[in-house]
Structure 1
Amino acid sequence: MAPCPHRHALPVALVLVLGLVFPAAAHAQAAKADPLPSWNDGPVKQAILGFVARVTTEGSPDFLPEEERVAVFDNDGTLWQEKPVVQGAFLVERVKALAAKDPSLRQRQPFKAVLEGDVDALMEGGEKALMELFAATHANMTQEQFQAEVSQFLKTARHPKLGVPYTQLAYQPMLELLQYLRDNGFQTWISSGGGMDFMRVFSEEVYGIPPERVIGSSLAEKYEKRGGRYVLWREPRPDHLNDKEGKPVGNDLHIGRSPVFVAGNVRSGGDIAMLGASAQRRGPSFQLLINHDDATREFAYQEKDGASLRAAKEGGWNVVSMRDDWKTIFGGTR
C-alpha cells in the first residue's frame, strides 16, 4: 500500500489545534523538543544539555539527587541588563524625589553629585557618602515602605535607551535556562551584589524565583515599636556585602549547600569568587560566564584587565557570547 501523502499532516494539525485549545500543553511539548529555543546550537548550549543529562540520569557516575541540584545566578548583567544598574537608577529617582521636597539637597553633597551625574565627586566622598545616600534612599523606613517604593519605581521607570520597563529586560535565553533547570529538579537561586530586599520585590514575577531564594547585600534591621506598632525597621548601616568574596559566604549562609550550577557575568570581577568556589566542590559542577559582546542588540563591555574572561579560561568555565550564542536577547525581535 502506498503511503498516505497526508500521514504527517494530521499530527501537525493536531499540534496546532492543541496550541489553540491547550496552549500550556503545546508550550510544554515545544519545550520538550528544544528546552532552550533562544540559544543557538553550539558548544555552550550542548555543554548545558549534556551536564543536566549527566546529573539527572540515574546510574550516571555524575548523578545527583534533587536536593543537591542547586543552581545560583548573579542578577545584574546575568539575568537582566545592567546598563544602568537598576538599583542605581532607583537610587537616583529617590534622590530626585527628596530634592523636590527639600531643594537644599541640590547644593549638598553627595546629593548634588548624584543629581548632576558627577561620578568623580561622588567617588571622592567614599564610603561615608555612599552610606549617607543609602540612609536617605534605602533606610530609616519600614520594610513595607521600602517595598512600596521599589514597586512604584518598577511600575513607572523606563530604560533610558531601550524605552521599556526594566522588568521587560530579563534575558530571554536565561529565562529559558531557569525553567529548564527547574523542569529537571534544580532549585534556582539568585546571589547578587545588589540589594536583597530590592530584588525580592520582583524576583518571583520576573524570574519565577521566590523571595526566600534571593541572596544579596543587605542593611541591618531591627524589630521595634514605631508609630504605635511593631515593624521591621531598616537601619542605615550595612549587614552583609554580597559581592566578590562575599558571594560564597552569602551562599553558604542562606543555602547551606555548595551550588552545582553557577552563572555570572563580566564587568567588575564580582562573580569570579562564586564561580571559582563552585568549581572546587566535590563532584560535578558547571560554571557559566556571560560575555557582553553584542553592542548592536545590547551593550559591549568587560573589565579593563579582562579578569573574568581570564579566570574562565584558566578554570575551564563555559563562556556565553551574547552575540554568537543567543538568537535573541530580550525576546521578540530585540
Structure 2
Amino acid sequence: MSESGAEYGTIDGVTSPQMPTGTRFKSGFACFIGRPNVGKSTLMNALVGTKVAITSSKPQTTRRAIRGIVHRPDAQLVIVDTPGLHKPRTLLGERLDSLVRSTLSEVDVIGFCVPANEPVGPGDRFIAAELAQVKRTPVVAIVTKTDLADRQQVAEQLLKVSALGEWADVVPCSAESGYQLEVVSDLLAARLPEGMPLYPEGELTDEPEQILVAELIREAALEGVREELPHSIAVVVEEIRPREDRDDLVDVQAWLYVERPSQKGIVIGPKGARLKEVGTRARKQIEALLGTKVYLDLRIKVAKDWQRDPKQLRRLGFYD
C-alpha cells in the first residue's frame, strides 16, 4: 500500500493505482454497430460519463467514427461510435458504410446494438449477417433502451437477439436509466488485450475541438426539422479564436450547408427565427464544451446535391 492508501499493481514494469497486485491492465478499442437510431451514441456518452457524440431522434445522426475514452482501474476502453449501417442511397451513404466496415476490422471487440422497444427487423438481420463474417473479433450483443420496454418485452427481445447469431455475450441495458451500464463496460473491457493506457488520464475524446463544435451546431439544427432535411445538413467551423480585447469570450465562425434553396428557407425560418433558435441552442452547448462565453457567427449556404458530389464531400470533410 502507498502512503495515500491506494494499492498498486504492475503494468510491464509500470505501477498503476487502484489495481490489485498482479492484475494485468488492459487497453484497446471497442465499436458499437447497429442500424440507425438504436442508441449507440447515447450509450457511448453514458459509458464515457460525458457528452462526446451528438444524439438525435433523426436517423444517421452520426457521420464520423467518434472516439470516447472510458477510464477504469483495470482497463482503458476506447469506444468508437460508428454511423448506422444502412442501404446507401447517396455517395455520402456509401462512404459512411465503408467507414463502418473498416472500423469493424480495426477494433478488439464489437458491441451489436438492438433496441428493446422495437421489433427485430431486416436491418438487424442484415447487420447480424455482416458480423457473421467477422471471424476473429468477439461480438457482444447489447439490447438497448430497456427503459422504453417492459420486462416481458426485454425478455423476448433477448431471445430474439440471441437467435440472430453466435455472440460472446448478450446483455440488456439502458443508457438513460443507467441500468447495467457497468455490466456492459465489464463485458467489453474483459475482451481487450493487455497493454498500457492509450490516452492520458482524464482525456475523454481525441476529436478535434472544431469537429466537436461543428457537431454541436448540427445537433441543434436537427431539432424539429422535416424528415427529408437532416441528411442534407452539414456544418463546417471556419474559425475558433479568443476575442482580442476580451479574456472571457471566444468567437466561433461556422457555415451550415444545405442542398437546395428551399431547405435554406426552412432552416432560416420566418424572419430568421429558426436559425436564431439553432444558434442559441448550439451556443449554450459550445460554451459548456469550451468553458467560456461564446459569440457564434452562424451563416447558411447552399451546396447543391453535396451528398452526391465527390468534390463537395471532400470540402465538407467526408474523404474517400
Shorter-chain TM-score above 0.5: no
The TM-score normalised by the length of structure 2 is: 0.31
Higher helix share: 1
Greater gyration radius: 1
The TM-score normalised by the length of structure 1 is: 0.30
